[in-house]
A and B are shown apart, each in its own frame.
Chain A
């Protein structure tokens, strides 16, 4: 069957140190269609798109647009050639006007000066055509996320984009806003624009898309007509994989309740809303949810980095008020943050420094810090966490991600916490090191510590947790016992309040 594709990505391979991010990935896009790209977090969707835009260079494979092999050098180069992307995190100059953001880098001019009237008219023209009710002169930071997203789509249209990638466009939109977005998408489809639609939301995808490509572990799994698919079918294609031997045996036995969180609501939205749950001694509680479900905010609110508006945290029968992280540490909490490089490690500092920093008050001897005690604690961290490092004085950034994570986990254990809050503890860590981290978490639970693990990798939660709570749009949509938990059920709950 001779079919013409506007975009063909064939056999794309991309290797990162320790991971094969893409392995014979492919995508074929027809003009005037919406093509959904699906897969779990980490399945390689974004990497594939980055290869399209030239942000990454594929090791193997070709990108063919309109029959010609293409190699973009970057997003701007792609944009000039009619290939645009609307990112989930919108990259805009928030303090400037809508039209300036659209025409940045190619302002219309008259006599050498910027022609504001022409810029306004051209913007208005695109907005009218797409039915976007926004004044081009508004400061873009004052718009809602959905309006800003529409501005970004309008920008792509103003470049006459023929291929448009929408990355999780509806993740922070209300139902009405989604409807409006779909009207715009349909208009673009009728104009012959080809769209790649990346999303986790099954119903939306089945509604809006013509075709669906599913990826898993960097590989192409299937491309089907949307009309032939059902939600169940998609989930099976997305998650079907072998789980044996990826996790250490579970040996911990949960005891009595140690932590009781009641109706916790963050002060500055978006954050967690009205979340209540209990945590037992020696229990590993997983927190699942889609990107933007406010799992990190929940941990931050418990740990006192984020303020709470209402709700109570009861530990060992007593109400604790974690008004900041220092108080939380004193109250026996510890938190491993999601962005290891930004908020976890002190990159240029030694293993010793990184091990003792959260506990530094304990090493005071008169006015000064006791080196002996700090070194013996560092030794404990290196030994018990099995950190592979040439010496105590090595700068932590020269270790692998897994070893960095072990040091930080050790850092928190030195504060003698009862409750550990772990946010994506295995992110960016290779498979072997992941197993070690899982083993450490289970060992901690064995010792009677209680652990809350936020993770975007569902198999990981299913592999190590006793219970899994699912968040959806800031709210708790359900808590599953591990025996009842399936990926399908978690997915269903994760989409409950969207």
Chain B
């Protein structure tokens, strides 16, 4: 009797601790709604979701690396490079100081999309090679790639005839394709993100690559003994991430309609935070696509509500930092072996 009580007591506490993050975030959102009822309007919600879309696609890519018990610090800068490529090729042909004055007719949008995907995948392959073949820690290799990608982005933007200026004045087709809304209400962006998420759900749950990714992240030794080609599958995960980064960069350029050297800054950290809040464990082998989506949306809701409430911008950083620490602290304590 006494024993059961003790165990129940312990379980109750554990439950509270394990889900503390969601309780706190829930309370925060309730607080925002009480402070301002208009926060809950349909328009506001769709706006938040649209904003979360490109970050969400990026997070879907980063999540794979976290499941592999790694991470990716370079995602944001890689996205910056991809965005610069898309934007520069899709500047309005009537804009005098466009980057490629030789483009006189609007080009097929598929071309810049493919080129962005190509550029992003190239950087991801460097990361993947470092992790799979050179056995570097993902943190270190992606730290290096981050700097390289940033350098490339700056050189590219600087190479414009008029010197370093934002790549803007984009083709209206492109802007419509990204920022359009069904019936003027429902943003296309949400649909693009949903399609990516659905495909990624299939990849994670229905393909050998997905299953092997979880096995490698959960127990590399067991995976290798079972005949999984560890290197090949790690490379596969990175290539899939590259494709997602490419799509996200294409959409992000169209969304903000101006690409500068700052594009993509800290996006990787947002993506990682979203994954962690959504239950992708840094110890590897754990994570779900719906979880990641929820994490990204929650993070965007917090961003937006802090902004909405007019919280000091510097204070916003502090609050976001605390949330990330809390998320990881809770995640880690689930896996501590008790002695």
Do these two chains interact? yes
Q: Could you tell me the distance in whole angstroms from the C-beta of B88 to the nearest C-beta in chain A?
A: 36
Query: Do residues A95 and B225 form an inter-chain contact, with CB atoms below 8 A?
Result: no
Q: Does B13 make an interface contact (CB < 8 A)?
A: no
Query: Do residues B225 and A94 form an inter-chain contact, with CB atoms below 8 A?
Result: no
Q: A76-B227, A114-B206 are in contact. Are A95 and B338 (CB under 8 A)?
A: no
Q: A93-B218, A93-B223, A96-B215 are in contact. Are A268 and B208 (CB under 8 A)?
A: no
Query: Do residues A105 and B223 form an inter-chain contact, with CB atoms below 8 A?
Result: yes
**Interface hits, B213-235 → A, CB 8 Å:** 214-215, 218-219, 221-228
**Interface hits, B183-211 → A, CB 8 Å:** 202, 205-208, 211
Query: Do residues A95 and B211 form an inter-chain contact, with CB atoms below 8 A?
Result: no
Q: Does A13 make an interface contact (CB < 8 A)?
A: no
Q: A95-B286, A105-B228, A114-B206 are in contact. Are A305 and B218 (CB under 8 A)?
A: no
A307 contacts across to B, CB distance below 8 A: 338-339
Q: A96-B214, A100-B211 are in contact. Are A76 and B226 (CB under 8 A)?
A: yes
**Interface hits, A71-109 → B, CB 8 Å:** 74-76, 79-80, 91-96, 100-101, 104-107, 109
Query: Do residues B222 and A113 form an inter-chain contact, with CB atoms below 8 A?
Result: no
Q: Could you tell me the distance in whole angstroms from the C-beta of A149 to the nearest C-beta in chain B?
A: 15
B202 contacts across to A, CB distance below 8 A: 113
Instruction: Report which residue of B202, B211, B223 has the largest number of chain A beta carbons within 10 angstroms of its beta carbon.
Output: B211
For this complex, into which size category does the number of interface residues on chain B fall? 20 to 34
Q: Does A40 make an interface contact (CB < 8 A)?
A: no
Q: A94-B218, A94-B219, A96-B215 are in contact. Are A300 and B339 (CB under 8 A)?
A: yes
Q: Could you tell me the distance in whole angstroms from the C-beta of B311 to the nearest C-beta in chain A?
A: 37
Distance in angstroms between the alpha carbons of A101 and B211 in the assembled complex:
10
Q: Does B285 make an interface contact (CB < 8 A)?
A: yes
Distance in angstroms between the alpha carbons of A32 and B337 in the assembled complex:
41
Q: Could you tell me the distance in whole angstroms from the C-beta of B208 to the nearest C-beta in chain A?
A: 5
For this complex, into which size category does the number of interface residues on chain A fall? 20 to 34
A104 contacts across to B, CB distance below 8 A: 211-212, 215, 222-223, 226-228
B205 contacts across to A, CB distance below 8 A: 114
B221 contacts across to A, CB distance below 8 A: 91
- Find the B residue at minimum CB distance from A271: B339
Q: Does A458 make an interface contact (CB < 8 A)?
A: no
Distance in angstroms between the alpha carbons of A306 and B338 in the assembled complex:
8
Q: Which 6 A-B pairs rank lowest in CB-CB distance, beginning with the nearest?
A: A105-B227, A105-B226, A306-B339, A93-B218, A104-B226, A113-B206
Q: Could you tell me the distance in whole angstroms from the C-beta of B169 to the nearest C-beta in chain A?
A: 43
Query: Do residues B285 and A93 form an inter-chain contact, with CB atoms below 8 A?
Result: yes
- Find the B residue at minimum CB distance from A141: B218
Distance in angstroms between the alpha carbons of A211 and B217 in the assembled complex:
41
A96 contacts across to B, CB distance below 8 A: 211, 214-215, 218, 285
Interface digits, A108-120 against B, CB 8 Å rule (1 contact, 0 not)?
0100111010000
B215 contacts across to A, CB distance below 8 A: 93, 96, 100, 104
B211 contacts across to A, CB distance below 8 A: 96, 100, 104, 107, 114
Instruction: Report which residue of A94, A95, A114, A306 has the largest number of chain B beta carbons within 10 angstroms of its beta carbon.
Output: A95
Known A-B contacts: A92-B222, A96-B211, A100-B214. Give 12 more (CB < 8 A). Answer: A76-B226, A91-B221, A93-B214, A93-B218, A93-B222, A95-B286, A112-B207, A114-B207, A114-B208, A114-B211, A268-B338, A307-B339
Binding site for B on A (CB under 8 A): 74-76, 79-80, 91-96, 100-101, 104-107, 109, 112-114, 116, 266-268, 271, 300, 305-307
Q: Could you tell me the distance in whole angstroms from the C-beta of A343 to the nearest C-beta in chain B?
A: 13
- Find the A residue at minimum CB distance from B338: A268
B208 contacts across to A, CB distance below 8 A: 107, 109, 114
B218 contacts across to A, CB distance below 8 A: 93-96
**What are 29 A-B residue pairs whose CB atoms fall within 8 Å in the complex?**
A76-B224, A91-B219, A92-B219, A93-B215, A93-B223, A93-B285, A95-B218, A95-B286, A96-B218, A100-B215, A104-B211, A104-B215, A104-B222, A104-B223, A104-B226, A104-B227, A105-B226, A106-B227, A107-B208, A107-B211, A109-B208, A113-B206, A114-B205, A114-B208, A114-B211, A266-B339, A268-B338, A271-B339, A300-B339
User: Within the complex, which residue of B206, B224, B286, B339 is in contact with A268, where a contact is CB–CB below 8 Å?
Assistant: B339
**Interface hits, B13-58 → A, CB 8 Å:** none
Query: Do residues B339 and A305 form an inter-chain contact, with CB atoms below 8 A?
Result: yes
Distance in angstroms between the alpha carbons of A307 and B226 in the assembled complex:
36
Q: Could you tell me the distance in whole angstroms from the C-beta of A229 to the nearest C-beta in chain B?
A: 34
User: Within the complex, which residue of A76, A95, A113, A267 is in contact with B214, where a contact is CB–CB below 8 Å?
Assistant: A95
Interface digits, B67-106 against A, CB 8 Å rule (1 contact, 0 not)?
0000000000000000000000000000000000000000
Q: Could you tell me the distance in whole angstroms from the C-beta of A367 to the nearest C-beta in chain B?
A: 31
Distance in angstroms between the alpha carbons of A93 and B339 in the assembled complex:
22
Q: A105-B228, A113-B202, A114-B211 are in contact. Are A91 and B222 (CB under 8 A)?
A: yes
Distance in angstroms between the alpha carbons of A306 and B339 in the assembled complex:
5
B338 contacts across to A, CB distance below 8 A: 267-268, 307
Distance in angstroms between the alpha carbons of A104 and B228 in the assembled complex:
7
Distance in angstroms between the alpha carbons of A54 and B163 in the assembled complex:
63
Instruction: Report which residue of A79, A92, A105, A268 has the largest number of chain B beta carbons within 10 angstroms of its beta carbon.
Output: A105
User: Within the complex, which residue of B206, B223, B285 is in contact with A95, where a contact is CB–CB below 8 Å?
Assistant: B285
B222 contacts across to A, CB distance below 8 A: 91-93, 101, 104
- Find the B residue at minimum CB distance from A100: B211
Q: Could you tell me the distance in whole angstroms from the C-beta of A55 to the nearest C-beta in chain B?
A: 10
Distance in angstroms between the alpha carbons of A109 and B211 in the assembled complex:
12
Q: Could you tell me the distance in whole angstroms from the C-beta of B338 to the nearest C-beta in chain A?
A: 4
Distance in angstroms between the alpha carbons of A109 and B207 in the assembled complex:
8
- Find the A residue at minimum CB distance from B209: A114
Query: Do residues B225 and A76 form an inter-chain contact, with CB atoms below 8 A?
Result: yes
A91 contacts across to B, CB distance below 8 A: 219, 221-222, 225
- Find the B residue at minimum CB distance from A90: B222
B219 contacts across to A, CB distance below 8 A: 91-94
Instruction: Report which residue of A94, A104, A109, A114 has the largest number of chain B beta carbons within 10 angstroms of its beta carbon.
Output: A104
